[in-house]
Amino acid sequence: MDFGLNETEEMVKAAAREFLSQQAGPDAARDSTSTAAFWSQVCEMGWPGLAIAEEYGGAEMGLTALGVLMEQWGAFLASGPLFESAVLAAPLLESHADEKLKREVLPQIADGSTSVTVAVIEESASWRPEDVRATAVRADDSWAITGKKHFVSYGNEADMIIIAARTGAGTEDISLFLVDRDAEGVTCEQLGHASGSPAAVLTLNEVTVPSSRLIGAENTGWGAVEQMLLHGAAFRAVQMAGLGRRVLEITTSYVKERKQFGVPVGSFQAIQHHLADMAVAVREVEHMARRAAWSLVEGSETIRKDVSRAKQAGSSLIPQVCWTAHQCHGAIGFTEEHDLHLYTRRAVSWAAEFGDASWHADRLADALEI
């Protein structure tokens, strides 16, 4: 057991904290005009390629280092498709795409010239294979994809989209395609999203995709989706841990400064116990989320359990941490002007993504063979 960060991870953490505390944070989160400039700086630092192998143009620092970065990314409310490109798309392509496609796309993700998001779930918001209704039909050397994808984060902004479509009659006869965002037949409906992060519904109307953009073999896409779902859940939990840690810091400072009855409210036991509960919850989710990321790297046999434990805990505890923070802030924390709700909005939104607490509890029950 080692709860420490190694040298690389410490370095990534320090760099991320330094940069994000200045360039991201609540003010930046409120100002959408700064997003593009911020994202280009992120790309210059090579963060989208942090965990991509060197031979594909990445820094090959590993998923645990990426996890350390994503903790800070969550803590500072940073915007831009880093999660989509680095956590979801790149590992999926690296594990499943053929060599030619990897050599073409991964270096572009690594240097930030291309961002990639993922479109799997549909109106049902379900992660079950039978709920993938979009279809891809083969015609000679290409495929025609038709369907509608919901909850595509950065769907309007990304350069490419990994799309899951049904290619056979069997439940898991699903294939994955790498589609250009501006391909003919792709239309995008931007959705208002309370988290502040852009989300879209994509409609695909006989979008033609060359066979070279099929990721892996035909009808084998669901395994890749399952793997990506593990990444998504683990790293959302990691972000929630970072966000929870930040909310704890903010609330701790506030209750030390805010005075009532002539003393800091943080000297009252009722408030102290709220803060203690928050501190325990944050530390638990930190450990569970880091272990989930570690298990993904190690290919540990407990991956499914570890990921579901982390996301179940993150989804149930971190929103609670935020609500308790509001209680400790009193009326000021209820205002639009105060930054706290920016964190709460993300925490509550993330709680639902890549499986909510109940969904992961059910998956965990299966993995535990109860």
Partner 1 sequence: MRFKFTSEDEQFRQELRKFLVDNLPQGWTGPPDEADENDWALSLRMKRALAERGWLVMHWPREYGGQAASPMRNILFAEEMAYHRAPGNDRFGTRMIGPVLMHYGTEAQKSKYLPEIASGSVQWCQGYSEPDAGSDLASLKTSAVRRGEKFIVNGAKIWTTLAHRADMMFMLVRTNPNVPKHRGISMLLVDMKSPGVEVRPIINMSGSHSFNQVTFDDVEVPEENLVGDLDNGWRVGMSVLNYERSGVDYVGWGQRAWDELVALCRAETGAGGRRLADDHAVRRRMAELDAELDAARLLTYEVAWHQQQGEAPADVASMSKLAGTVANRNVLDYGLQLLGMYGPLEKGSPYAKLQGRFFKMRMFYTSGEILAGTTEIQKNLIAWRGLQLPRV
CA angle 153, 157, 160 (to 5 degrees): 85
Are the CB atoms for 279 and 285 separated by under 8 Å? no
Report the SS3 class of residue 290. helix
Q: Cα-flanking dihedrals φ and ψ of residue 115, to 5°? A: -110, 145
The sign of the dihedral angle between the CA atoms of 259, 260, 263, 266 is: negative
CB closer to partner 1 out of 200 and 255: 255
Q: HSE of 244 in the Cβ direction (CA atoms, 13 Å)?
A: 34
CB closer to partner 1 out of 98 and 268: 268
Q: Which of 288, 318, 322, 351 binds partner 1 (CB under 8 A)?
A: 288
Are the CB atoms for 215 and 136 separated by under 8 Å? no
Q: Which two structure tokens, joined as six digits, stand for 277? A: 């509960």
CB closer to partner 1 out of 169 and 263: 263
Q: Which of 100, 140, 331, 370 binds partner 1 (CB under 8 A)?
A: 370
Which residues are within 8 A (CB) of 217 and not within 5 positions of it... i.e. 6 or more apart? none
The sign of the dihedral angle between the CA atoms of 19, 44, 353, 152 is: positive
CA angle 46, 212, 115 (to 5 degrees): 25
Largest CA distance in the chain: 79
- CA separation for the pair 8, 65 (Å, rounded): 7
CB closer to partner 1 out of 35 and 252: 252
CB closer to partner 1 out of 181 and 311: 311
327 binds partner 1 (CB under 8 A): no
Q: Which two structure tokens, joined as six digits, stand for 150? A: 């919901």
**Residue 171 CB, nearest approach to partner 1 (Å):** 21
Q: Which residues pair with 70 in a beta bridge?
A: none
**Residue 319 CB, nearest approach to partner 1 (Å):** 15
**Residue 201 CB, nearest approach to partner 1 (Å):** 31
295 binds partner 1 (CB under 8 A): yes
Block residue for tokens 């994202």 = 39
Site size for partner 1 (CB under 8 A): 49
User: Which positions from 218 through 277 interact with partner 1, judged by CB under 8 A?
Assistant: 248, 252, 255-256, 263-264, 266-269, 271-273, 275-277
| Stretch of 35-43, 108-116, 239-247, 287-295 lying at the interface with partner 1 (CB under 8 A) | 287-295
CB closer to partner 1 out of 110 and 255: 255
290 binds partner 1 (CB under 8 A): yes
14 binds partner 1 (CB under 8 A): no
| Stretch of 43-51, 195-203, 206-214, 359-367 lying at the interface with partner 1 (CB under 8 A) | 359-367
147 binds partner 1 (CB under 8 A): no
Q: Which residues make up the interface to partner 1 (CB under 8 A)? A: 1-6, 9, 64, 248, 252, 255-256, 263-264, 266-269, 271-273, 275-277, 279-280, 283-285, 287-288, 290-291, 294-295, 300, 306, 308-309, 312-313, 316, 358, 361-362, 364-365, 368, 370
